[in-house]
Chain A
């Protein structure tokens, strides 16, 4: 597996502001993803972070609200823009490591707990 770190681990923010979350991996990976996990809920994919090109967003998530960067194969950022209390959640990055055959295993970062007041 890979060592995945996220910064910050938690933050409390005022509504209307933006927060950028960083995800760093200790090895080059092909795929990086950003998920949201609301309290007591499952994991919802926000977008796939593509290296060198625009991220691929899932239904219900837009680039203006969640801009994503992935400048290289070990690093990505997710920004939560113009925050409201509804954005309070845990945000997790995950990476896909090469496995056997075509199907690759995903491993998660420790998450960023965001509270918006």
Chain B
């Protein structure tokens, strides 16, 4: 079955700097890769996703890149702000199959 690894487990950056979180997956048939942001005590929220037919997707300050050959995908946050502080989860799935989540990255943005 699918296995998703996520690094780093914690990440601290200064406000205004960029943050990058990386995930690798094992199932080459996976074709959908969402990213979720979970603030303390709240539900995970979908912030961006990418499908296997594209290599990069941007939405304002966040972007996701996908390398199908290497089976890894990354979340990039530019110009970080304190409100970006949260736990971020990557996930992978195949078609409408279940999501398999990574272990999470706790991002702290210091003002």
Does B96 lie within 8 Å of A105, measured CB to CB? no
B contact set with A: CB distance below 8 Å: 31-32, 34, 36, 42-46, 49, 51, 89, 93, 95-96, 98-104
- CB of A82 to closest CB in B, whole Å: 26
Kindly provide the distance from the CB of A103 to the nearest chain B CB, expressed in whole angstroms: 4
Asked if A12 is at the interface (CB within 8 A of a chain B CB), the reply is: no
- Given that A101-B51, A103-B31, A106-B34 are contacting pairs, would A45 and B98 also be in contact in the complex, using a CB cutoff of 8 Å? yes
Q: A31-B96, A42-B104, A101-B51 are in contact. List 5 more A-B contacts (CB 8 A).
A: A41-B104, A42-B102, A102-B95, A105-B46, A108-B44
Does the CB pair B96–A42 fall under 8 Å?
A: no
Interface contact A107-B96, CB-CB below 8 Å: no
Would you mind naming 18 contact pairs between A and B with Cβ atoms under 8 Å apart? A33-B98, A33-B99, A41-B103, A41-B104, A42-B89, A45-B98, A45-B100, A58-B98, A92-B43, A92-B44, A96-B96, A103-B93, A105-B46, A106-B34, A108-B36, A109-B43, A110-B42, A110-B43
